């Protein structure tokens, strides 16, 4: 007779429910406000209680991003490309989880969700390949009259606050974040309000993919509450309003950003995230530095 107790039947096992948190400075804090909001599937079935980030959480994210920016912008382009490729590697290993997340969030079938996940993974690889080619594509050697070399080279803008697309929970999110960070910027991104779960899953990948602390910070909640503070924050250098669907709010945020002379990427009304990304998003968040150097020195 065995001394071991019989195993608990699978039907009696309590499911380990996931706690959905923010991602700030490489850690997973709850909102300082203690607030949450209900997230449902596309069919209206309860899915999760996501953290409702506050203005204080947004300010904490700015501090984390500024701290992360220094080391990330100083890293070699080759190293940044390796890190973005590593994100793709880890996502590939969790492909089934991301497929389930996207299927529930967007209400699409399995094959369509798989296509979205594959495209998001490939998008990381695509931008990883641009990391050490940006200087050649966006820079130049300029002809000048005189005994000088004159070079224009792209440099990262700094801390960028972005609103992810509301309808494309993963591919759109990656298409917004990847071009911001590949050039050396640090990002604060507000995930899709109604479809935040794929973004939260992505934070778990970022935390284990050699991405330095603070380089990407992900907030969940209401962009209309947080973005006015980020748009007017003196230590935010640019804002990406892609996911803002309210024209009046977008105009107000542009006005707020003008107070501290920020770069602004305006909302995208109808974006085809599955299409060729092009270089416009890469170009939006770099500054051009022109260097003069005497010949023969």
Domain holding 130: CATH number? Answer: 3.40.605.10
Count of structural domains within the chain: 1
Dump pLDDT digits (tens) for 109-152: 999 999 999 999 999 999 999 999 999 999 888 888 888 888 88
Q: How far apart are CA 165 and CA 162, in angstroms?
A: 10
Q: DSSP secondary-structure letter at 243?
A: T
Helix ranges (H only) for 233-275 are 247-258
- Residues contacting 178, CB < 8 A, separation 6+: 84, 123, 124, 127
Grouped pLDDT means (10 residues each) for the chain, 297 residues:
54 83 97 94 91 97 98 96 98 97 95 97 97 91 85 93 95 97 98 96 96 97 96 97 95 96 85 88 92 80
pLDDT at 1: 47
| Domain assignment of residue 1, yes or no | no
| Domain assignment of residue 15, yes or no | no
Dump pLDDT digits (tens) for 17-26: 888 999 999 9
pLDDT at 4: 54
pLDDT at 6: 55
Strand ranges inside 209-284, DSSP E: 216-219, 238-240, 263-265
Query: Residue written as tokens 């699409």?
Result: 108
Q: How far apart are CA 273 and CA 266, in angstroms?
A: 16
| Domain assignment of residue 276, yes or no | yes
Q: How far apart are CA 49 and CA 21, in angstroms?
A: 9
Task: Report the 10 Å Cβ neighbour count for 248.
Answer: 8
Question: Which domain covers residue 153, as residue numbers?
Answer: 56-294
| Domain assignment of residue 29, yes or no | no
pLDDT at 3: 54
| Domain assignment of residue 270, yes or no | yes
Task: Report the 10 Å Cβ neighbour count for 140.
Answer: 14
| Domain assignment of residue 40, yes or no | no
> What strands, in cross-sheet order, belong to the sheet with 148-156?
140-141, 148-156, 286-294
């Amino acid at each position: 007779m065995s001394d071991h107790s019989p195993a608990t039947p699978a039907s009696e096992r309590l499911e380990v429910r996931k706690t959905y948190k923010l991602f700030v400075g490489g850690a997973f804090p709850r909102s300082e406000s203690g607030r949450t909001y209900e997230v449902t599937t596309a069919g209206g079935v309860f899915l999760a209680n996501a953290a409702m980030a506050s203005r204080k959480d947004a300010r904490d994210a700015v501090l984390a991003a500024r701290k992360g920016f220094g080391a990330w912008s100083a890293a070699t382009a080759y190293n940044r490309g390796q890190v973005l490729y590593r994100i793709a590697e880890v996502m590939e290993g969790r492909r089934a989880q991301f497929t389930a997340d996207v299927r529930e969030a967007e209400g699409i079938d399995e094959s369509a969700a798989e296509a979205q996940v594959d495209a998001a993974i490939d998008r990381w690889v695509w931008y990883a390949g641009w990391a050490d080619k940006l200087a050649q594509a966006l820079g130049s050697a300029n002809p000048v009259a005189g005994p000088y070399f004159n070079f224009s080279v792209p440099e990262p803008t700094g801390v960028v606050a972005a609103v992810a697309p509301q309808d494309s929970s993963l591919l759109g999110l990656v298409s917004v974040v990847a071009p911001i960070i590949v050039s050396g910027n640090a990002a604060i991104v507000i995930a899709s309000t109604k479809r935040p779960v794929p973004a939260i899953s992505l934070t778990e990948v970022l935390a284990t993919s050699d991405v330095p602390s603070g380089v990407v910070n992900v907030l969940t909640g209401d962009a209309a509450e947080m973005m006015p503070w980020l748009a007017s924050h003196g230590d935010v250098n640019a804002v990406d309003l892609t996911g803002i669907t309210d024209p009046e709010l977008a105009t107000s945020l542009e006005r707020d950003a003008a107070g501290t002379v920020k770069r602004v990427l305006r909302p995208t009304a109808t974006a085809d995230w599955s299409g060729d990304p092009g270089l416009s998003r890469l170009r939006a968040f770099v500054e051009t530095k022109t260097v003069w150097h005497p010949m023969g020195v």
